[in-house]
């Protein structure tokens, strides 16, 4: 069934949004889904009464058919279609997640972008929601206080080689205070500084950055008089980054290369690097590509060098409801998105490479605040986004993905970490 507001929705671009599920069986399941949704909202303390001050307003009953067919994905698609809205979307999603709401999809239907091929977020989209005009990653605010302890963690080296545990520097940074939206750019620059410090980037360092972060890491490393090779599988990203590097006056010390694969293989990059930096790539890769990424770090990093890796991880607080909610992000933005735990990353590094994690810094509260500021910036630039060609459905999608990730961070289901890696055997390969 075509959506009642179909004239405002491009059915070719958004088939799952433009079409409301229909049929006798769907109608039966929709009634059950409506009752379950009402119970979940009641348990979450969410007011649905349109005559009062509702927390969310249901504009069209298509919401319940979508819930019956596609669960949390249907909830997201219904929001994209304008069938429901909320004054505070983060509060609503967090409340539903906190109750463990997990609508059962009776007639699942796939939404897939296909396998991830290395494309990055549109640079104009990032500009409209970043503090520095080029970075999509979270920042670290100046008011956070770091505390570091030496901690033993399990080793996962195959074959029982080496001790059962090893030590890492485990750092937590206290929640930021008194931060404002104008502080986001400085916070993102501070995250870059921490990564470059973790990778021991100094004058004369030959640094590999993958993927390109839009220019921030390359410019920061160049300021330290390092030589940088930055890689991307997105030609448009490479073009824009090249222009930014020229404007920053660092294009002579940075080489930007377009590769044909999501993860650089032996034919894409040759030689060794003193340092490697990777930001927000691991959690959007398929399992096989994660293995290839870690093996690439091992192959490309010179002995005694260091990797600075920033990624989002799932915590022990992650629930089945949280995992189900993420399906919407896989369906429309990151097809292979699957947040690993920090322990799973340690296991991946130990088992698939000669590297080892020696430092781990937790940034969750800072990333959560960064997302809130990025969300606010995007809302403030809504007209610019429309003028740039992002239609109303896409703008709702971007609103929803910010809100969902904020909710997951607020509930402690997601965290962000910076990891420092180096070779287990500093004198040579294992």
Give residue 428's pLDDT.
45
Query: Quick one: which of 352, 220, 206 has its CA closest to 271?
Result: 206
Mean pLDDT of the chain: 93
pLDDT in tens, 6-25: 557 999 999 999 999 999 99
Whether the CB-CB separation of 429 and 355 falls below 8 Å is answered with no
Task: Specify the DSSP element, H or E, that contains 298.
Answer: helix 287-300
Residues contacting residue 61 through CB under 8 Å, at least 6 positions apart: 30, 34
Q: What average pLDDT does range 279-290 have in this prediction?
A: 95
CA 59 vs CA 46, 65, 84, 163, 391: distances in Å: 16, 13, 5, 60, 20
pLDDT in tens, 76-135: 999 999 999 999 999 999 999 999 999 987 555 555 666 777 889 999 999 999 999 999
Beta 301-314 vs 414-423: how paired, if at all?
antiparallel
Exposure class string for 253-272: b at 16+ Cβ within 10 A, else e: bbebebbeebbbeeebbeee
pLDDT in tens, 386-416: 999 999 999 999 999 999 999 999 999 999 9
Give residue 161's pLDDT.
62
Whether the CB-CB separation of 259 and 118 falls below 8 Å is answered with yes
Is 2 a residue whose pLDDT tops 90?
Answer: no
Compute the distance between CA of residue 385 and CA of residue 126 in angstroms, rounded to an integer.
Answer: 10
Compute the distance between CA of residue 241 and CA of residue 218 in angstroms, rounded to an integer.
Answer: 9
Compute the distance between CA of residue 219 and CA of residue 341 in angstroms, rounded to an integer.
Answer: 30
Beta 254-258 vs 165-173: how paired, if at all?
unpaired
Compute the distance between CA of residue 361 and CA of residue 88 in angstroms, rounded to an integer.
Answer: 31
Compute the distance between CA of residue 134 and CA of residue 138 in angstroms, rounded to an integer.
Answer: 12
pLDDT in tens, 207-249: 999 989 999 999 999 999 999 999 999 999 999 999 999 999 9
* pTM score of the predicted model: 0.94
pLDDT in tens, 134-165: 999 999 999 999 999 999 999 988 876 667 89
């Amino acid at each position: 069934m075509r959506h009642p507001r179909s004239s405002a929705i491009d059915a070719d671009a958004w088939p799952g949004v433009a079409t409301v599920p229909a049929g006798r069986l769907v109608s039966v399941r929709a009634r059950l889904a409506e009752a379950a949704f009402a119970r979940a909202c009641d348990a979450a303390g969410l007011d649905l009464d349109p005559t009062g001050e509702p927390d969310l307003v249901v504009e069209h009953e298509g919401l319940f058919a979508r819930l019956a067919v596609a669960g949390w994905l249907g909830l997201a698609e219904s929001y994209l279609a304008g069938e429901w809205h909320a004054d505070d979307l983060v509060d609503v999603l967090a409340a539903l997640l906190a109750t463990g709401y997990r609508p059962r999809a009776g007639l699942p239907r796939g939404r897939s972008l296909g396998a991830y091929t290395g494309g990055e977020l549109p640079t104009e989209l990032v500009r409209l929601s970043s503090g520095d005009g080029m970075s999509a990653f979270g920042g670290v605010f100046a008011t956070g206080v770091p505390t570091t302890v030496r901690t033993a963690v399990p080793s996962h080296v195959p074959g029982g080689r080496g001790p059962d545990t090893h030590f890492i520097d485990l750092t937590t940074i206290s929640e930021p205070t008194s931060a404002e939206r104008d502080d986001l750019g400085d916070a993102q620059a501070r995250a870059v500084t921490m990564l470059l410090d973790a990778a021991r980037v100094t004058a004369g360092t030959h640094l590999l950055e993958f993927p390109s972060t839009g220019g921030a890491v390359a410019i920061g490393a160049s300021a330290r008089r390092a030589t940088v090779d930055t890689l991307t599988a997105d030609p448009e990203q490479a073009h824009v980054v090249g222009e930014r590097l020229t404007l920053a006056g660092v294009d002579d010390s940075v080489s930007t290369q377009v590769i044909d694969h999501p993860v650089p293989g032996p034919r894409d990059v040759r030689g060794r690097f003193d340092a490697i930096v990777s930001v927000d790539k691991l959690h959007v890769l398929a399992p096989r590509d994660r293995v290839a990424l870690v093996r690439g770090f091992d192959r490309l990093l010179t002995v005694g060098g260091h990797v600075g890796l920033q990624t989002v991880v799932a915590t022990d607080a992650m629930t089945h409801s949280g995992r189900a909610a993420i399906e919407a992000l896989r369906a429309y933005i990151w097809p292979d998105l699957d947040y690993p735990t920090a322990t799973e990353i340690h296991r991946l590094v130990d088992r698939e490479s000669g590297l080892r994690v020696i430092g781990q810094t937790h940034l969750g509260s800072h990333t959560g605040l960064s997302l809130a500021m990025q969300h606010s910036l995007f809302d403030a630039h809504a007209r610019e986004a429309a003028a740039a060609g992002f239609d109303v459905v896409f703008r709702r999608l971007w609103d929803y993905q910010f809100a969902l990730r904020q909710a997951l961070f607020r509930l402690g289901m997601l965290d962000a970490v910076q990891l420092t890696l180096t070779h287990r055997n500093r004198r040579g390969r294992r």
